[in-house]
Amino acid sequence: MSEVLLSIRALHKSYGSFHVLKGIDLDVKTKEVLCVVGPSGSGKSSFIRSINQLEPYQSGEVRLHGHLIDSNMNIDKIRQEIGMVFQSFNLFPHLTVLENLTLAPMRVRGLSAQQAKAKALELLRRVNIVEQKDKYPSKLSGGQQQRVAIARALAMEPKIMLFDEPTSALDPEMISEVLNVMKDLAKSGMTMIVVTHEMGFAREVADRVIFMDGGLIVEDTTPDEFFTSPKHPRSQLFLSQILAR
Amino acid sequence: MTFLLGSFLGFAALSFVLGKILVLLPEPIGSRSDLFVEGAKVTLLITLNSALIGLVLGVLMGLARGSPRAWLRAPALAYIWLIRGTPVLVQIMFVFYALPVLVPQLQLDEFWAASIALGLNVGAYNAEVIRAGIQAVPQGQTEAARSLGLSNVSTLRWIVLPQAIRIVVPPLVNNIVALLKDSSLASAIGLLELTLAGNRISSETFLPVPVLTTVAALYLIYTTAITIVTTLLERMMKLRAHV
Write the pLDDT tens digit of every residue in B123-152: 999 999 999 999 999 999 999 999 999 998
Q: Look at residue B221 in the predicted model and tell me its pLDDT.
A: 93
Name which of B143, B150, B154 is nearest A54 (Cβ-Cβ).
Answer: B143
Q: Which residue of A has its CA nearest to B142?
A: A90
Residues on chain B touching A88 (C-beta within 8 angstroms): 140
Give the whole-angstrom CA distance, residue A200 versus residue A179: 10
Contact yes or no for B159 and A92 at CB 8 A: yes
Q: Is the pLDDT of residue A95 over 70?
A: yes
* Residue range A151-178: mean pLDDT, rounded: 94
Strands (E), A94-180: 160-164
Distances (CA, A) of A99 to A95, A137, B146: 5, 11, 16
Contact yes or no for A76 and B141 at CB 8 A: no
B228 versus B115: which is more confidently predicted?
B115
The contacts of residue A163 (CB under 8 Å, 6+ apart) are: A48, A85, A182, A192, A193, A194, A195, A196
Whether A90 and chain B come into contact, CB under 8 Å, resolves to yes
Q: Look at residue B240 in the predicted model and tell me its pLDDT.
A: 62
Place A72 in a pLDDT band, splitting at 50, 70 and 90. low
Place A69 in a pLDDT band, splitting at 50, 70 and 90. confident
| Residue among A89, A107, A119 with most chain B CBs within 10 A, to mutate | A107
Strands (E), chain A: 4-15, 18-29, 33-37, 59-64, 67-69, 82-85, 160-164, 191-195, 208-213, 216-221
Helical ranges in A4-93 per DSSP H: 44-51, 75-79
Q: Do A192 and A161 contact (CB within 8 A), yes or no?
A: yes
Q: Is the pLDDT of residue B241 over 60?
A: no
DSSP lists the bridge partners of residue A6 as A28, A64
Q: Look at residue B114 in the predicted model and tell me its pLDDT.
A: 96
Give the whole-angstrom CA distance, residue B33 versus residue A176: 74
Q: Is the pLDDT of residue A1 over 70?
A: no
Q: What is the nearest CA distance from A238 to chain B, expressed in angstroms?
A: 30
Q: Do A115 and A146 contact (CB within 8 A), yes or no?
A: no
* Residue range A173-199: mean pLDDT, rounded: 94
| Residue among A46, A90, A98 with most chain B CBs within 10 A, to mutate | A90
Over chain A, what is the mean pLDDT? 92
Give the whole-angstrom CA distance, residue A50 versus residue A6: 13
Q: Look at residue A116 in the predicted model and tell me its pLDDT.
A: 95
* Residue range B213-238: mean pLDDT, rounded: 88
| Widest Cα–Cα separation across chain B | 70
* Residue range B198-207: mean pLDDT, rounded: 91
pTM, full prediction: 0.82
Contact yes or no for A104 and B163 at CB 8 A: no
- From B229, B123, B133, select the one nearest B182 (Cα to Cα): B123
Convert B172-203 into a string of H (helix), E (strand) and C (coil): HHHHHHHHHHHHHHHHHHCCCCHHHHHHHHHH
Which phi and psi (to 5°) does residue B48 adopt?
Answer: -60, -50
Question: Residues in chain B whose beta carbon is closer than 8 A to a beta carbon of chain A?
Answer: 138, 140-141, 143-151, 154, 158-159, 162-163, 166, 241-243
Q: Is the pLDDT of residue A112 over 70?
A: yes
Complex prediction ipTM = 0.91
Q: Do A148 and A140 contact (CB within 8 A), yes or no?
A: yes
Over chain B, what is the mean pLDDT? 90
Place B178 in a pLDDT band, splitting at 50, 70 and 90. very high
The contacts of residue B51 (CB under 8 Å, 6+ apart) are: B119, B122, B176, B179
- Sheet with A4-15: list strands edge to edge: A18-29, A4-15, A59-64, A67-69
Place B230 in a pLDDT band, splitting at 50, 70 and 90. confident
* Residue range A108-137: mean pLDDT, rounded: 94
Q: Look at residue B169 in the predicted model and tell me its pLDDT.
A: 87
Give the whole-angstrom CA distance, residue A85 versus residue A167: 10
* Residue range B220-234: mean pLDDT, rounded: 88
Q: Look at residue A73 in the predicted model and tell me its pLDDT.
A: 66
The pLDDT tens digits for B94-107 are: 999 999 999 988 88
Report the 10 Å Cβ neighbour count for A27. 13
Give the whole-angstrom CA distance, residue A148 versus residue A178: 10
Report the 10 Å Cβ neighbour count for B82. 12
Q: Which residue of A has its CA nearest to B140?
A: A90
Share of chain A above pLDDT 70, in %: 98
Q: What is the nearest CA distance from B139 to chain A, expressed in angstroms?
A: 9
Share of chain B above pLDDT 70, in %: 97
| Preceding amide of A39 cis, omega within 30 | no
The DSSP bridge pattern shows strands A208-213 and A216-221 to be antiparallel
The contacts of residue B86 (CB under 8 Å, 6+ apart) are: none
CB neighbour class for B203 (10 Å; exposed up to 12, middle 13-18, buried from 19): exposed
Q: Look at residue A198 in the predicted model and tell me its pLDDT.
A: 92
- From A157, A140, A46, select the one nearest A101 (Cα to Cα): A157
Share of chain B above pLDDT 90, in %: 67
The pLDDT tens digits for B26-83 are: 777 878 888 888 999 999 999 999 999 999 999 999 999 988 889 999 999 999 999 9
Place A245 in a pLDDT band, splitting at 50, 70 and 90. low
Q: What is the nearest CA distance from A244 to chain B, expressed in angstroms?
A: 34
